[in-house]
A and B are shown apart, each in its own frame.
Chain A
């Protein structure tokens, strides 16, 4: 009877057990997040999908009614306004903020003094919430107290700037404010892209005698084409989810003229007690995102593979 006889049976089974636990640690660390993400992404989506096919009104109920909610959604004039607004907003907002962002990025790229100061000024709206931006701009658009009153006070007495007071123009107030908020973000991404262009390429163009504008058009901008796409996709995502900005700026009005899909979902679910149709509208938002994001992700994967096989 040596001590060895005692210790061996204790240690021998313990080691594989410990090792097995050791290999489990990474999975155990990941597990809670995985479970939460799985529930959040899949269970919640399927849940809302089912609600959109149910006869839920004030409370969620589970009587199956097929596509009725979708039919009444698309028959609704207000939803059609929301959808048209989304297209109008997305188009102007993306083109506007990308154009201004690119202009500012190119200007800053000309070795200007105090680059960090300019960048900070153009980017700060991104740190401010849409609620704050929307509130402040709603005051500026106010014809009695805002920009119109100011310009008239300066002496241009028949100056008119009352976008939010008019059904037909209120959407442009949303567009302008959206561009103000996010063109700095586009600038930051474009600037990073401009900085990543191979300096030898630019030098070669300059030695060939190309002007600055020609160098940008023919050499620099084509090489950062993927960034244009990335910025556009991010902006489209913002546009589809736009809720806060409108909630603070126009509250969907005047009338229903600045209703957006996100506003519509909120209104139906929590103000009007039409949960089924609200869920259908939410599913349409998801569909709109998928239309943009699925092809983009596939393209990214394809590009990575192509780069991988080349390099």
Chain B
């Protein structure tokens, strides 16, 4: 066990995968000499050479489209999209081909491609650098969509993603790149599509993922001071969704709040609420609530703190959940 940042953990995962499997390639914009704008690929080109880790022309559709061709020819490309909103030029390749080729070819073509996307806000970035794009990808059958909340998960999930025969959209919460945590590179695989109960509690389940896992844990600590015992479930795999772990938790607690940075309308949280309601209705003491970003384009840096779900806003939602205890107070639905 050693303390590393999430960026460092991702770097380790890439290095270990490159070392273990000669068919793994890492490429994208500025991933070579620079080591990526977030330094996630730092030192890899020097260590593994330009044949394995290289800069491409500046063209996202080109990066994903050529990765598809390379995967068809037996390689395992791991590509970097520089920022969330700059992955959109590659959207057609992702949805029309990456997600569907296995199905279209009835299993004959396997595309073990990982697309790493730094996503979300909270870093004071200017526009187009802070989108939460998970709903676009999770709506696409054939893709796996995963996102780590901690350095340890970042390492393990990325290793699992690279080993996966299915294409993976690997969403990296960029505001957590520099937060340190423990990392154990050995040990059993975590189970690539399993959610994890990060903190046990009896009263409320907070369902979070990616950048909001840390915020949810902070909320649970604050809530404890007010006498609420909050359980935190980290989804890790957004698609496929781990109904089992999530529903087991909600059945225990009877109350749930889903938290994400992305806009709420048509968002990923709506799917989680629907699934939990369908499967746990008789165990619920209150409607499942969402705390999300507002339904606005991502705001400028000086306003982003108002947009992003905060500990206070999540605590408010928890308070509204005490329906049966008549704690609703001034909080409207």
Partners in one complex: no
Binding site for A on B (CB under 8 A): none
Binding site for B on A (CB under 8 A): none
